[in-house]
Structure 1
């Protein structure tokens, strides 16, 4: 199967027309005509992941986060230049779907893991999803439920409520949407200090689950693509950049 055919499948599910103006989703490097027999799916497109894909004999790397966010510098001694050089030298095609995948699937997948029902769009955000827990929970029970759902040891919490029933979710960095969402609890990542004050103003519990919670897309995308692509599909280890010390 050619790389271009796989790109067509990706863009049928996650159209590039959905990406935000600042996003750089799409074909990152390689040849559309290249034959692809083995694909690796990963959260991040970085040098570590590129080398992992090469070591595992992959012809194509599909990621959520693009590496071309970084300033394009074709000096091959620079970081981005090194990524491009290693990919090209090893005939590795790279494709990324960031905000298109976010809008179509990411937050639905996160809501599914939480077991939310009656899930719908938070229309003023254009990306976040909201739903209800099957049963109302105490705040402590809800936090344990979140940690279990996403295999987290810790989360950061701001705000306070006795019980939680309605929940909104935005994978990645979604704290800017806090004033556009009316729920008991809002889960997102990369939350800055003053968003904690906003949670009090908005009378909600703000839960920082971290950006890496989006790693859920690795297995979910593999399941989706296996139904349409004949090539072998494997997943990256996709470790978190951060750890607790």
Structure 2
């Protein structure tokens, strides 16, 4: 298939608009019109992973972490980042990264961790704001249902687990068509009164362009009267971390043993044991320390994440069990998640997991 087909699907699952401002998700190496026949999935895109792609004839590497995170001013092979990019270009291998946008979606990285820990009643720990907008559009009553259908199809109207949500009020609109117009109703030069509906729908920012196009195509008027408002509401389907519940309350050491086994980790660093039962658990793949206050506020008994520094363990203050499993370990199942996502849509596309262990950290036990 063409690379753009895969990219469009992945970005529908985890829109680029959901990535953090510091991130660099998306197509890093390659062209959208490139033909691809096979792909390789990895957590990191290293030189060994590119070599594996070359040897196995893969056309694209889909990684979680972007190989290019900061700007590159030169490509002369002086760093592993430059060498990876140069080798991929030399062998015509595309590189695609799906990082914090996959972290932030409800069905993404943190959901996979929660599933591995068998947590239930899961929800986003820190929902994002600044993502929701409202479209208000005025339409003849006779065409209101057609317009609503178009707006819903374009991605508007979802609130939580409910879809096709709108608010509609009836009123009377007036207008006078000027010279050179071709009014849908009424006559040029005469004030016209039309029974209209005001249709209001909420939508996530990334669908706005598609939504406005759909609105114009479905609306009968030459000049469409509409307003767009930015909302302060939090978007509970998108955000950082996840929180859920274990099947039963666990002793702290029993909980740590389950984490160690289910997440396949060699070593767990944790804060002081408090003698409290563990049932409500917050998780965040990668460096999630910034979420600790939110985990505590949401009543979490334990917080499973990575990349904690020495002094940050004091922040537990006896309120929560900080559980640092390691960066790679917390995100390793992202590879499985990507495989599942791609195979669900493209069952005949030859995609597989890398055989390279890209964890740069080793343990002497």
| Aligned residue in 1 for 2:19 | 19
Q: How many residue pairs are counted as aligned between the two chains? A: 244
CA deviation after TM superposition for structure 1 residue 78, in Å: 2.1
CA deviation after TM superposition for structure 1 residue 123, in Å: 2.5
| Aligned residue in 2 for 1:237 | 355
What secondary structure is seen at the aligned counterpart in 2 of 1:122? strand
The reply on whether 1:140 has 2:256 as its aligned counterpart is: no
| Aligned residue in 1 for 2:97 | 96
Structure 1's unaligned 5+ residue stretches are none
Residue from 112, 118, 123 that aligns with 1:109: 112
What secondary structure is seen at the aligned counterpart in 2 of 1:147? helix
Tell me if structure 1 keeps the 8 A contact 2:305–2:323.
yes
* Alpha-carbon distance in structure 2 between the residues aligned to 1:74 and 1:224: 35
Please identify, of 153-162 and 4-13, the stretch whose mean Cα deviation from structure 2 is larger.
153-162
Q: Quick check: which has more Rg, 1 or 2?
A: 2
Give CA deviations for 1:139-176 in whole Å, capped at 9, x if unaligned.
11000000110111220011323211110000000012
Alignment of 1:168-179 (within 5 A): 168-179=282-293
Normalising by structure 2, report the TM-score: 0.65
| Aligned residue in 2 for 1:64 | 64
The reply on whether 1:46 has 2:46 as its aligned counterpart is: yes
Q: Which runs of 4+ in 1 moved over 4 A?
A: none
Structure 2's unaligned 5+ residue stretches are 129-238
Residue from 153, 178, 194 that aligns with 2:266: 153
What secondary structure is seen at the aligned counterpart in 1 of 2:322? strand
CA RMSD of aligned residues (A): 1.4
Which structure is higher in helix share? Answer: 1
Normalising by structure 1, report the TM-score: 0.95
